[in-house]
Structure 1
Amino acid sequence: MSTAQLAAVSFLARYAGRTHALYAFQLREWFAWCEANGLDPLTGIQRAHVELYIRSLGDRGLRDSSVNTMMHAVRGYFRFAHIDGLITADPAVTATSAASPHPQEPRTKHDQPRTGVRLHPSRRGPFSAAVDSKCRSTICELARNAGSRSSMERSGLRSSRSRFMRHRYPPLLLVAAVLLGLLSAPTASTASTASTASTASWNSASSWPMAGHDAAGSNFNPAESTLTPGALSRLTYERGFVTAPYNPAFDCPPPPSDAVAVDGVIYYLSADYVEAHQISTGVALWRSQLWPRPGEHPATGLAVKGGRVLVSLSDCLSNSDPTGFLVAFDARTGTRLWQNADVPADTFTMSASTVAYRHSTGVCCTPGVVVIDAASGREEWRADETVTCGPLIVVAEVIPDCDLGANGRLIAKGMALSSGRIVWTRTVDSRFAFTRGDGDTHAGKDLYARDYSGRIIALNPTTGRTKWRAANETGDVLGVGAARLFVTCGNAEAPAICALSRADGRRLWETPGVTAPTAVAIAAGVVYPSPKWPPVVAETGDLLWESAYAASAYAASADNVIVARGKLIMTAGRIIDVFGLQPPSRGTVPLGHQAT
């Protein structure tokens, strides 16, 4: 591996999820341009080279704002390479973004189509099978749903003929949709009756309130007791939801496909809206717009705690002067509670009383961590930071983070969630990165990271001291169960998932798969890796193929899986599928069992 590639790996190790994927793509574009022009991506690069690359992005027809976005990872790459001493000067720090030679068309407001309950695959019309596996657009959904007006009405949805007309779909589908009354979900102002639906039979303790399940990102729901290994053979497909397509004319990326489930209600981001539906019936409870101008501030995160729905909105249109917001809604009605204007909340985590998030004032300036009161949005404290080393997590009321010491060395530190006071520090290598921790309900407290050699280590989150260092484990930490740590292992040709003992880091089992897992959900003794994995028994590593979810996840390439109160929810792009143990409605077929 070359020095440039090592620097890229070191830079990307600080990020996770969608940010990691975006920055990896941007660096691949930079590396490809350098290779095409006979340049080393790191060594010998001058400011003129960077500006030529910026000009080439404009020549490809990208808007100025998109060029700035494409340079985020490149600027960060050189910045950290300079900090690590790999280069003597940062060639990107003074490079200016040349104006695109292509004229920019004025942006216009595009209404986003309404969404609602997705019909069962067996009831989508005569030509659904041929397009089902690949079609994701609203037009395709309308074609599938032709002839199924009664199903939409039973879902509690109402048509929105005028809104559909404004999207100028092809005449044949337009006529069919108008005649059959196919779209939409009620807004916050029209869903007052639906919001009174009873959810008393649901246990809040078994909810899945945010991405990663908890503030530590453990991906483990310890309160779930229904979907045990023995019960999964009775798991059946119940219903699905379809989020609105994101307008490709917008410069910013679409919102993440994550969903959360709390007290029998599923919340998800849908284009420029956040929606709430009752899981047991599919009835839409409310739908609230995130920002008055669609596409200007796309959503980047979602969490539900303490009766509040929190959504982070970012800004991809300005690299030097970005803006962002945190917006809180009432979880029962969708009413807007408060809005906290700040620089982008790229990632945040939420408890019942506080919200912690990272902000940034652009690539030129200092990022930091902010903690605010969840009830009012009022700032409690903030701490500037020079560098970051991993996702924002909270373990044992401590926020682990990194900074630069007086001598320029990288320092890992722990900050008290209540005050921001630094409770411990330790000098680390530039390749050091925090990964995950255990959840608030665990008896023991562990914080996991990668050390200078890339090996997984366990730390005491309250002291920063090393508990153990795994012998040869260098994979990604996917989730933290009660007694086991689940990580990627194997290699690119033979990917696998492994379980490590939380006590000493010893490998307990290894199970091979078709693809390298990128996420897991852990509950009731079962691990749900994704994509293209069946469930796995947490204790033994045995695969559980005998379930509707196993077939569906394998066929649909699930992005994320959540488990809440006997419901298993899978997201795959714009599709959200719900599985449960009760028998499905008459005539339904699990997604993975569709005819092709």
Structure 2
Amino acid sequence: MVRPRWAGHPLSPSYARSVRYFPGVQALRRTVTALVFVGLALPGPAQAATPRWDHPGYDAEDSWFNPHEAALTPATVGRLTRSWSVHLRHLDESCSGFSAPVLGAGRVFATDRAGVSAYRPSSGALSWRFTWEHADDNSTARLAVAGDLLILANGDCNSMSDPDGRLTALDTATGRVRWRLEPDNPIDSVVVDKNVVLVSGTSPSDEDRVAAYRVRDGRLLWSRPRHASSGVSADGLVPLATTDGSGVPTGTTVAVDIATGAPRWSRRATWQVQAASPAADRFYVTDRSGVLLSVDARTGAVLLALPGRGTPLLATDGPRLYVADGVRLTALAAGTGRALWSYTFPGPITQPVLAGGLVYTGSRVLNASTGAPAGPTVPGGVIVTGGRLYQVNGPRLTTYLPELRDRRSELGV
């Protein structure tokens, strides 16, 4: 879970949610202003043993939902205090920027104007930095953690007619380059799942193409010309849209196995995939008329159609869908589409983020069950995991956690 090349400032409202679009059509964008990660949280059986957030949308399903958060909840979110904060590198001559940090392999990885930096989640101590050779010709990388590798997917910035993509795999412990590729096509979407990196891109000089590479060494596994991916995988199943090769959809969506490219099902429809359910049994897609559809991931059958609900700003915890439309956030029952609650904000909101029974919106924090305000206003985008809230607001990464004395009280200390 858009301008080609990921150009532009990723913290601005124009930055793509995950840089996915129908080829040749300006993408609907999700504002990914901040993201997040994590140190150890309060101990307890309900808390995940190893906090993670290895994709911008939490995982390859792009649900924007962390099901393991148990420490930062409606009962504790009002007691947030700053734990640490770091300044992200800034260069005047750069087309890279600040976006979607990810967490994995015991480190927080954040893009900056010079490249990518890695930090210790508990203290903010710098582990290493990777610097672009030419920051003025490298767009902001989309990040994903896969085992002991950090995948960077981006491209050049200085060619509008014939841009190229770039894939770089860094060692998560050292920042050393393990492998690097420069595909002829730009990279407009990317998803990492089942030890496969799947990318998609089009340009005026390149035929639309989806390509899958092995995470371990970057070896090409398979490719499909005249197809485009939205960058969402449901347990290894990825829907692709067919095109005429020049960015124009031709009206078919085919779901393929990410590891082999083998088709599982096909439908006569042009769908933009926004997310998959946490259980990977449904895709949530929008069609060209703005209808939000719930689709059976196994068969492609349409289970539910919600006219007027189409949006790229969508999150799901399974039972509920959370859709943002301008200044309004609405929670819908995933099975029926019935509106459960709605909240209107004083200004535009960003990508909804779900964790610990809370919804983070780039503004007021809400109770996910009721829609009632539950915590302070948190500007920018956030992601929550391991009992910590991480925020990117301008060129600064900050983490917060509940006040220490209250945490001790909860533990009976």
TM-score, normalised to structure 2, is 0.82
Q: CA deviation at 1:484?
A: 0.8
Partner of 1:445: 281
List runs of 5+ in structure 1 lacking aligned partners. 1-11, 27-72, 79-197, 585-596
Q: Flag the structure with more relative contact order, 1 or 2, with Cα contacts below 8 A and sequence separation at least 6.
A: 2
Partner of 2:86: 241
Partner of 1:528: 360
Counterpart-to-counterpart distance in 2, 1:485 and 1:19: 29
Which string of whole-angstrom CA distances, capped at 9 and with x for unpartnered residues, describes residues 24-62 of structure 1? Answer: 989xxxxxxxxxxxxxxxxxxxxxxxxxxxxxxxxxxxx
Is residue 503 from structure 1 mapped to residue 335 from structure 2 by the alignment?
yes
- SS of 2:343's partner is strand
Q: CA deviation at 1:382?
A: 1.0
Partner amino acid, structure 2, of 1:562: I
Native 8 Å contact 1:312 1:346 kept in 2 = no
Counterpart-to-counterpart distance in 1, 2:5 and 2:315: 13
Partner of 2:208: 367
Counterpart-to-counterpart distance in 1, 2:268 and 2:387: 44
Counterpart-to-counterpart distance in 2, 1:422 and 1:327: 28
| Alpha-carbon distance change, 396 to 380 in structure 1, aligned in 2, over 3 angstroms | same
Q: Please identify which structure carries the higher strand content.
A: 2
Native 8 Å contact 2:81 2:401 kept in 1 = yes
Partner of 2:65: 220
Partner of 2:266: 425
Counterpart-to-counterpart distance in 2, 1:508 and 1:357: 36
Partner of 1:303: 144
Native 8 Å contact 1:396 1:462 kept in 2 = no
Partner amino acid, structure 2, of 1:391: S
Partner of 1:354: 196
1:529-568 equivalence runs, <5 A:
529-530=361-362, 533-545=363-375, 550-551=376-377, 553=378, 557-558=379-380, 560-568=381-389
Native 8 Å contact 1:434 1:448 kept in 2 = yes
Native 8 Å contact 2:142 2:152 kept in 1 = yes
| Alpha-carbon distance change, 25 to 480 in structure 1, aligned in 2, over 3 angstroms | closer
Is residue 400 from structure 1 mapped to residue 239 from structure 2 by the alignment?
yes
Counterpart-to-counterpart distance in 2, 1:245 and 1:305: 27
- SS of 2:392's partner is strand
Partner of 1:513: 345
Pairing partner for 1:460 from 292, 296, 300: 296
Counterpart-to-counterpart distance in 2, 1:450 and 1:19: 25
| Residue-pair matches, total | 379
Partner amino acid, structure 2, of 1:482: G
| Alpha-carbon distance change, 370 to 331 in structure 1, aligned in 2, over 3 angstroms | same
Partner amino acid, structure 2, of 1:540: T
List runs of 5+ in structure 2 lacking aligned partners. 16-20, 27-38, 406-413
Pairing partner for 2:183 from 342, 345, 354: 342
Is residue 260 from structure 1 mapped to residue 92 from structure 2 by the alignment?
no
Counterpart-to-counterpart distance in 2, 1:583 and 1:208: 24
Counterpart-to-counterpart distance in 2, 1:18 and 1:299: 7
Which string of whole-angstrom CA distances, capped at 9 and with x for unpartnered residues, describes residues 467-518 of structure 1? Answer: 11125534444211131110024xx6xx210111111222111111112322
1:271-286 equivalence runs, <5 A:
271-286=113-128
The structure with the larger Rg is: 1
Native 8 Å contact 2:118 2:126 kept in 1 = yes
RMSD: 3.4
| Alpha-carbon distance change, 355 to 292 in structure 1, aligned in 2, over 3 angstroms | same
Partner amino acid, structure 2, of 1:346: D
- SS of 2:62's partner is coil
Counterpart-to-counterpart distance in 1, 2:10 and 2:204: 18
Partner amino acid, structure 2, of 1:348: V
Native 8 Å contact 1:477 1:485 kept in 2 = no
Is residue 229 from structure 1 mapped to residue 68 from structure 2 by the alignment?
no
TM-score, normalised to structure 1, is 0.58
- SS of 2:137's partner is coil
Q: CA deviation at 1:230?
A: 0.9
Q: CA deviation at 1:220?
A: 0.7
Is residue 207 from structure 1 mapped to residue 52 from structure 2 by the alignment?
yes
Partner of 2:35: none
Counterpart-to-counterpart distance in 1, 2:120 and 2:152: 19
| Alpha-carbon distance change, 378 to 435 in structure 1, aligned in 2, over 3 angstroms | same
- SS of 1:535's partner is strand
Q: Please identify which structure carries the higher helix content.
A: 1
Is residue 480 from structure 1 mapped to residue 316 from structure 2 by the alignment?
yes
Partner of 1:434: 273
Q: CA deviation at 1:218?
A: 0.9
What percentage of residue pairs aligned between the two structures are identical? 23
Partner amino acid, structure 1, of 2:369: E
- SS of 2:361's partner is strand
- SS of 2:206's partner is coil
